[in-house]
Structure 1
Amino acid sequence: QLACLFARSGGVVGNDTGPVFLAARAGVPTLMVMGRDTNPDMSAPVGARAGWIHRESITEISPDEALAAVDRL
């Protein structure tokens, strides 16, 4: 059901959790936000329309920055 919901969405933004990887696999524009404890080389979603933002803390990522990143996917 979640994959069907993602397929109808304009994009997905989330942290290092299963739904982000499911959205990326479905081909939906997907952005993962990561803090210092997540290694993007090991945990970033994979796909032509997947991306990530990595900061010391996810609180450093503004909603505007995240939305702009999704728009570029």
Structure 2
Amino acid sequence: MNSDTIKGKWNQLKGEVKKQWGDLTDDDLLKVEGNRDKFVGLIQERYGEARSKADVEREVDTWNERHNLW
């Protein structure tokens, strides 16, 4: 999937992201721009760096299985 497609789909899925991770702001989601690595880092930052990156990546991958972004 090319970056334009990911960004377009990201814009469509922002509401679903906010349902799953309600502490994320619109500004946070603008910064991510559909980039998976940025998204994982943002969740880790917002919800506690004590959570391992691997745990956050699994959570994001589970979410992605339902929404097929990345």
**Same fold per TM (> 0.5)?**
no
TM-score under structure 2 length normalisation: 0.25
Report which structure shows greater RCO (CA 8 Å, sep ≥6). 2
